[in-house]
Structure 1
Amino acid sequence: MILQLHIKNIALIEDCTVDFGGKLNVLSGETGAGKSIIIDSLGFALGARADKSLIRHGATTASVEAVFDLSDSPMTKKKMVEMGFEEEDSLILFRSMTESRSDIRINGRPAVLSMIKELGATLVDILGQHENQSLLSVSSHIELLDKYGEDAIMPLKTEISDLYRKYKEIDRKLASYGDEATRARRIDILKYQIDEIKAAELTEGEEESLLADRERFRNSEKIVESVGTAAYALKGDDSFSVQSVLSAAMNSLRQSTSYDTRLEELYDRLDSAYVELKDITDELDSYVESFDFDAGSADRVEKRVDLIRSMKRKYGATVTDILSNLEKFEQEYAELTEADDLINDLTAEKEVIYDKLLKKSSLLSQNRREAASELKKELESELSQLGMGGSVFDVKFSSGEEFLGENGYDRAEFLISPNPGEPVRSLSKIISGGEMSRFMLAMKVITSRLDGIQTLVFDEVDAGISGKIGEVVAEKLALVSVGRQVIAITHLPQVAAMSDVHFLIEKSVSNGVTRTSLLPLDEEGVIGEVERLSAGAGAYGTLHARELRKIALAKKSEIRSK
């Protein structure tokens, strides 16, 4: 449920905050006052296209903030968790735009347009002229029918969708094998790749070891020279060496150890150092003597490194990747060499799935036709109450394998005859604006109980309606508002009289600047607005407006007590 809408610099609205209530919220005002701006602003917050022309003249930034209570919106909470947000009982959607950029936030965190669109679809259902046009689109009819009969239809649709996905996967698999000539070419390529990789006899870690050997071979002269120099520095010649210096130091110190035992520890340390240096010297000599620079070995290392790099260019960024791809090549090779058997198995599986698809689609089609029969009865009853008695509603089905897809094999189109004696025809060919508004209202009265959307917005759904039918429309809106929030823009006094919360939309001019504002009405204000709206229909007057309000409240109480 939407709690608050804060609009800033949208069209004629400079800065406006609307605090909505539960149940039936009514918005009314003079023609041209800017009633549609409220709906446009809400739509903008929910992800509608950003129309830069809506930025108020003289302003640089336009913004809308919508605050929602999610206590009864589990679908929205689930979506938020899937998007990485904390599960909360409140939601704040913020969206702003300038001529060059836009900003979107969900509970203060940066977000993208697709997110608020997804959340908006679970929060608010806006019905108006655009939605009328959607209802004229035949492609929407099957979805409305499926929603109506969801208990018998949706489980089957899920099964069919899963089967169809498997069916298409097998199709793609079969297509990947291609014809026999294509398979033969692929087998030749795979065999060459497998043989080449195997012939290379690659092992993980080999490249690193080879690179180390190559570096050693490339610097062999430097290595021998530096090691020899180090060894010579340690052992030197008879005149000077580190060893001779240590030996002399030990001989000098040995003479004094008998006089002071504390010197024994220092002598022992010199002795250990001498032994360690002697060992190091011997190992350095041994290294120089054993150092084997074989030009042939160096050449083999270079060639091996070049081979590995060549293989990496062809088959993977690392040796690990190459070996992994080898496994894939071998698997594909095995599959292709056994392709005939695999193709036969896949073809048989495809036929089984196709048979299941047809059977499930047939059952789905039957359930849809039963749902259509029930929808016909219920919708004709609603239309009769809305002054379209004698209207005939029907659903035309086109079914067959040529339509088979993830939703079965049905095509459905709503047909109507609004006048007795006339044949049913497409909605777009026969239904008038006022009739379309009533048809949409009747459909929403029926389907609103089937989804979890807590806020319904009716944008002048009463267009082209007056008199007694206006009372029925008001009653229907009161009925739909049981258990959910309804926001209705209206020109009917009957709808205004039925309101739980009423806002008057006014346009004013001050210092040459035009502004639209919303004024919440108290009870006297509601009666005054009912009187104003009634004037064009016969001037009820204040007494009649009070009476109309009294009757409407009583009727609303009766509707909600059932």
Structure 2
Amino acid sequence: MLTELTIRDFAIIDYVSLTLKDGLTVLTGETGAGKSIIIDSIQLLTGARGSVDFVKHGAKRAEIEGLFNVDGNHSVYAKGEEYGVEIDEDGMVVLQRSITHQGKSICRVNGKLVTLGVLREFGKSLIDIHSQHETQSLMDPERHIDLLDTYAAEKLQHPKQEYRKQYEKYRSLQKRYQELSDNEQEMAQRLDLLEFQWNELEEAHLSPKEDEELMEERNKLSNFEKIYSGLNDTYEALYGEQKGMDWVSHAMMSLEATSDYDENYQKMSDELSNAYYVVEELTFRLSTEMEALEFDPERLNEIEERLDEINRLKRKYGQSVEEMLEHKNKVEEEIDEINNKDSFLSKLEAEINDVSEDLLLEAQHIHDIRSEAAKELVGAVHEELKDLYLEKSVFDVKVEKRKGGKESPVMNGRQVALNSNGVDEVRFMITTNPGEPLKPLHKIASGGEMSRIMLALKQIFSRHQGITSVIFDEVDTGVSGRVAQAIAEKIFKISVNSQVLCISHLPQVAAMADTHVQIQKNITDNTTKTNAKELDHHEKVEEVARMISGAELTETTLQNGHELLNLAESFKAKV
């Protein structure tokens, strides 16, 4: 849930800090007070495109910051892993967005700088914003299949995983088949290129780890003088009259003379003797190593030339000799495929057919699950619509197999188009008038009807989507009376499963609020500022009464406000 929202120098807002709570928070105020500006700021916080027009006049930048608390199973953790954003076990996520007066946008998630696209990905997993003119995923036909799959997530999880494994394999085989089936001229050109690469690598006579061994040898030859000097100084310090070994030998004999008097002295004498013989062996190795050292400038030149050749090949074929050898093997395989194209095409075609059969079985299984889930969803939506006085409306979910082209696989006698989601096309259809045909959901004209249908769907999907917060921006426009009361009740029910922030002009909705915030616009010294104030019970009664009457408060309007609040509390106690 969104727990803290801070806005600075945004539009007509100088500074506003809101502490938001669980349940239903309703924002009310006069038209133009700045309610929708607060929603605009949240949209920017979650990745909407910005503009310098949002920066308050005279300010250098507009800043919005939101603190979210999520549980340990929330999808935002997966987003954090995907984009390298650390999210602690306490489940705190901080989104930050600033827009400078020059138009530069800066985005952060938990303090890490991210792109606008990444901020948008986090925002989508935390907040769902719905307005009268922006229905987002519920009204987007392309998203209907995702919503249906969310509704049937438990049943579809494993089948979709199996399908996508097969689908990736199918696509990979198709791509290879297409590459081999290209025209003869392209194949000839490809073969020439591959043979050139293979010959170049073959003539180089590369061996594994050759580059590492050559660099090590070059390092020794390039530093011959330093190495010889170091070895010689070490040897001279140890070996010779009155040098290190003589003194260690003297110490060894002195300690050995005392070893009969104490067991500890004996142990120390033995340790010193062992050390002496170890160092003595080292001096012999130093001598041998110095005798073997030889500076060969011709060999150094050979190494440099060989490394230059290897580095030239690295720029074309890989970062190491191992990668280049692996590339050579792949090139050899592809040359063999092209030279024996007909044989490989037959083999690939048989493999594609086998994978296609398995893929179509998985797609059919998913189609059957979706069809059953669609029937359940239709029943659930009709129940919700009844509560919203749309009992005569007919809602339907069309799950149809997409028509394929000539090269598409055949399912049940017809060619179908496959994608990563299967073979299905899902559309939400509805008619609100008896006798009228079903139409796509997004083509419904009435704003009031659209609001109620959207709320019915939100009520169902809010239990499945895992969205932290749902925001409604004047979705109750164009309704009144018993429909307004039904919408208020539905918005409250949604807030049982998700935090809801709602801008409303309906007293029925305001009365349902767990938290009521009044937005006010003040003009001081020719400067317009927007302020937000959380109302106590008495102030809430007055605000609801003012919303009912639209005029000055009287005893009658205050009484009406009390009654509406009491009715709301009675309803909330039953939910």
Q: Do 2:2 and 2:469's aligned partners in 1 also have CA atoms closer than 8 Å?
A: yes
The match for 2:27 is: 27
Matched, 1:541 2:541: no
Change (3 A) 1:464 1:348: same
d(CA) in 2 for partners of 1:140 and 1:306? 55
Change (3 A) 1:425 1:189: closer
The match for 1:554 is: 570
SS at match of 1:481: helix
Matched, 1:456 2:479: no
In the TM superposition, what are the counterparts of 1:203-214 in structure 2 within 5 Å? 204=210
d(CA) in 2 for partners of 1:372 and 1:147? 11
Shift of 1:420: 1.9
Q: Do 1:72 and 1:454's aligned partners in 2 also have CA atoms closer than 8 Å?
A: no
In the TM superposition, what are the counterparts of 1:181-200 in structure 2 within 5 Å? 181=184, 183=187, 186-187=190-191, 190-191=194-195, 193-195=197-199, 197-200=201-204
Q: What one-letter code is carried by the residue in structure 1 that aligns with 2:561?
A: A
In the TM superposition, what are the counterparts of 1:472-487 in structure 2 within 5 Å? 472-487=486-501
d(CA) in 1 for partners of 2:566 and 2:135? 33
Change (3 A) 1:185 1:422: closer
Change (3 A) 1:210 1:312: farther
Structure 1 runs not aligned, ≥5 long: 216-282
Q: Do 2:87 and 2:93's aligned partners in 1 also have CA atoms closer than 8 Å?
A: no
Q: Do 2:218 and 2:300's aligned partners in 1 also have CA atoms closer than 8 Å?
A: no
Structure 2 runs not aligned, ≥5 long: 223-290, 405-416
Deviations 1:461-485 (A, max 9, x none): 2111111122221211221122431
Shift of 1:438: 0.7
The match for 1:175 is: 178
The match for 1:392 is: 394
The match for 2:101 is: 99
The match for 1:85 is: 86
Matched, 1:506 2:529: no
d(CA) in 2 for partners of 1:377 and 1:298? 83
d(CA) in 1 for partners of 2:304 and 2:566? 99
Change (3 A) 1:492 1:176: same
SS at match of 1:64: strand
Which is worse superposed, 68-77 or 539-548?
Answer: 68-77
d(CA) in 1 for partners of 2:558 and 2:217? 100
The match for 2:228 is: none
Q: Do 1:210 and 1:305's aligned partners in 2 also have CA atoms closer than 8 Å?
A: no
d(CA) in 1 for partners of 2:368 and 2:153? 13
In the TM superposition, what are the counterparts of 1:320-469 in structure 2 within 5 Å? 323-402=325-404, 403-469=417-483
Which is worse superposed, 186-195 or 453-462?
Answer: 186-195
Q: Do 1:92 and 1:107's aligned partners in 2 also have CA atoms closer than 8 Å?
A: yes
Which is worse superposed, 522-531 or 415-424?
Answer: 415-424
The match for 1:152 is: 155
The match for 1:110 is: 113
Task: Report percent identity of matched pairs.
Answer: 38
d(CA) in 1 for partners of 2:63 and 2:311? 57
Shift of 1:419: 1.6
Shift of 1:37: 0.8
Shift of 1:528: 0.6
Q: Do 2:5 and 2:66's aligned partners in 1 also have CA atoms closer than 8 Å?
A: yes
The match for 1:138 is: 141
d(CA) in 1 for partners of 2:350 and 2:32? 66
The match for 2:50 is: 50
Shift of 1:118: 2.2
d(CA) in 2 for partners of 1:494 and 1:471? 6
Q: What one-letter code is carried by the residue in structure 1 that aligns with 2:97?
A: R
Q: Do 1:71 and 1:90's aligned partners in 2 also have CA atoms closer than 8 Å?
A: no
SS at match of 1:393: strand
Which is worse superposed, 78-87 or 187-196?
Answer: 187-196
Q: Do 1:365 and 1:410's aligned partners in 2 also have CA atoms closer than 8 Å?
A: yes
Q: Do 1:13 and 1:515's aligned partners in 2 also have CA atoms closer than 8 Å?
A: yes
The match for 1:75 is: 75
Q: Do 1:396 and 1:415's aligned partners in 2 also have CA atoms closer than 8 Å?
A: yes
SS at match of 2:164: helix
Shift of 1:38: 1.1
d(CA) in 1 for partners of 2:300 and 2:60? 72
Shift of 1:186: 4.6
Deviations 1:525-547 (A, max 9, x none): 11111101111599961111111
Structure possessing the higher radius of gyration over alpha carbons: 1
Q: Give the TM-score normalised by structure 2.
A: 0.75
Shift of 1:332: 3.1
d(CA) in 2 for partners of 1:120 and 1:515? 27
d(CA) in 2 for partners of 1:78 and 1:129? 31
Q: Do 2:4 and 2:68's aligned partners in 1 also have CA atoms closer than 8 Å?
A: yes
d(CA) in 1 for partners of 2:80 and 2:297? 68
Change (3 A) 1:108 1:379: same
Q: Do 2:29 and 2:35's aligned partners in 1 also have CA atoms closer than 8 Å?
A: yes
Shift of 1:432: 0.6
Q: Do 1:70 and 1:77's aligned partners in 2 also have CA atoms closer than 8 Å?
A: no
Change (3 A) 1:143 1:199: closer
Aligned length: 484
Shift of 1:201: 4.0
SS at match of 1:131: coil
The match for 2:253 is: none
The match for 2:284 is: none
Q: Do 1:132 and 1:437's aligned partners in 2 also have CA atoms closer than 8 Å?
A: no
Shift of 1:503: 0.4
The match for 2:229 is: none
Shift of 1:107: 2.9
Shift of 1:446: 0.8
Shift of 1:519: 1.1
Q: Do 1:503 and 1:521's aligned partners in 2 also have CA atoms closer than 8 Å?
A: yes
In the TM superposition, what are the counterparts of 1:279-318 in structure 2 within 5 Å? none
Q: Give the TM-score normalised by structure 1.
A: 0.76
Shift of 1:128: 1.3
The match for 2:282 is: none
Q: Do 1:160 and 1:361's aligned partners in 2 also have CA atoms closer than 8 Å?
A: yes
d(CA) in 1 for partners of 2:2 and 2:101? 28
d(CA) in 1 for partners of 2:42 and 2:513? 20
SS at match of 2:75: helix
SS at match of 1:469: helix
d(CA) in 1 for partners of 2:305 and 2:68? 70
d(CA) in 2 for partners of 1:10 and 1:523? 30
Q: What one-letter code is carried by the residue in structure 2 that aligns with 1:150?
A: A
d(CA) in 1 for partners of 2:17 and 2:308? 72
